[in-house]
Amino acid sequence: MIPKDKHLHGIFAPLTTPFVDEEIAPDHLAENISHYNRFDLSGYVLLGSTGEAVYLDDDESVILVKAARDSIPSEKKLIVGTARESTRGTIRFTNRMARLGADAALIRSPGYFKSRLTPDALALYYERIADESNIPVIVYNIPVHTGYSLTTETVLRLAVHPNIIGLKDSSGNLGFVGEVLNEIPNNFAVLLGAASILLPGLMMGVSGAIITLSDVAPEHCLRLLRLFHDQMWEEARRLQLDLIPLNKAIIQTIGVAAVKYALDLTGFYGGPCRSPLPPLNKQEEDHMRRILEKLQLIEA
């Protein structure tokens, strides 16, 4: 559990879900985590988009979260993606994850009936969940998947709830992030979901980030954070720009399959995605290799 007065800080890695022959492979997840534990990451997110959560059933989710919990030392946080489309479904799954030791729930706003989900309906959705959840809630704004953005007003209303501790924003819109930062109470954290703007986001006042880039390049992400704290602006700027091509490939152009491909090349277990996500073609593999070489994540 994460008390509301203790901010979420630093870099959190949203982990991939390892599959072998389309079956979940919790042992590979545990191995990956023990590798990641060497880095100064603040914690992990299980069952996020990067984890192909929409392809997992509840029982698989339980097995994966158990395996993760056992592999994560107590000083690192375990955040779990628990969104279902219905309020009651989300509450039940959140509390199931709470019983397995999740420290907080990351909850994507519902999208299916979006034309009917007024700001008030969305706020009520989160408030009811936060009221009944046994772990703190992080609101998750991800327009590329839901088809709309939460409004500043909705976030500010939710920020005063005692069991809602933060916002993850993956809109890529720092203007929106700035509006939120301008008015939220001190005990409410804003985490960035877009690694291409990590440095600018830190500059604006976010307290940390949940970024897939840290799955592939954890040291680079952590170094960027340190450069920011040490006010090494020019080095920070240079590193931020250098990281953009890798981030673009794993988020925008190719997606999760590219993350897994990169993991396979860098000592982690990547493996295939579940169908219908296609594997990389030859051209995409070459593109990924060039990018990873340039960042010295693999040898040329």
The residues annotated as belonging to the active site are 168
Tokens representing 131 are 């009221």
Give me the residue label for tokens 């008030």. 120
- Of the pair 112, 267, the CB lying nearest a second copy is at 112
Q: Retrieve residue 195's tokens.
A: 């690694």
The answer to whether 189 and 181 are in contact (CB under 8 A) is no
Stretch that binds a second copy, among 39-47, 157-165, 179-187, 217-225 (CB under 8 A): 179-187
Considering only 37, 173, 187, 266, the residue that binds a second copy (CB under 8 A) is 173
Beta carbons within 10 angstroms of residue 286's beta carbon: 11
13 is a contact residue toward a second copy (CB under 8 A): no
Restricting to residues 58-77, name those near a second copy by CB under 8 A: none
Using the rule CB under 8 A, which residue among 102, 197, 209, 239 binds a second copy? Answer: 197
CB of 252 to a second copy, least distance (A): 8
Under rule CB under 8 A, which residues in 113-152 are in contact with a second copy? 113, 115-118, 120-122, 124-125, 128, 145, 147
Checking 175-184 for CB contacts under 8 A at 24+ apart, the result is 176/149, 176/152, 177/201, 177/204, 177/206, 178/204, 179/152, 180/152, 180/155, 180/156, 181/205, 181/206, 183/152, 183/156, 184/155, 184/156, 184/159
Q: Is 293 in the site for a second copy (CB under 8 A)?
A: no
What minimum distance in Å lies between the beta carbon of 230 and a second copy? Answer: 12
Q: How far is the CB of 163 from a second copy (least distance, A)?
A: 17
Kindly list the distances between the CA atom of residue 51 and the CA atoms of 1, 6, 251, 296, in Å, as whole numbers in the listed order: 22, 26, 13, 25
Contact range with a second copy by CB under 8 A, out of 32-40, 105-113, 261-269, 286-294: 105-113
Task: For the CB of residue 3, give the shortest distance to a second copy in the complex, in Å.
Answer: 26
* Residue 20 engages a second copy in binding (rule: CB under 8 A): no
Whole-number Å distance between alpha carbons of 85 and 125:
10
| CB distance 55 to 20 below 8 Å | no
Check residue 43 for interaction with a second copy (CB under 8 A).
no
Task: Check if the beta carbon of residue 166 is closer than 8 Å to that of residue 191.
Answer: yes
DSSP 134-157: SS-EEEEE-HHHHSS---HHHHHH
Cα–Cα distance, 62 to 33 (Å, whole number): 17
Among 101, 143, 178, 272, binds a second copy (CB under 8 A): 178
**Chain contacts with a second copy (rule: CB under 8 A):** 22, 49, 54-55, 57, 85-89, 110, 112-113, 115-118, 120-122, 124-125, 128, 145, 147, 172-175, 178-179, 181-182, 194, 196-197, 199-201, 203-205, 231, 233, 237, 240-242, 244-245, 247-248, 252, 254-257, 274-278
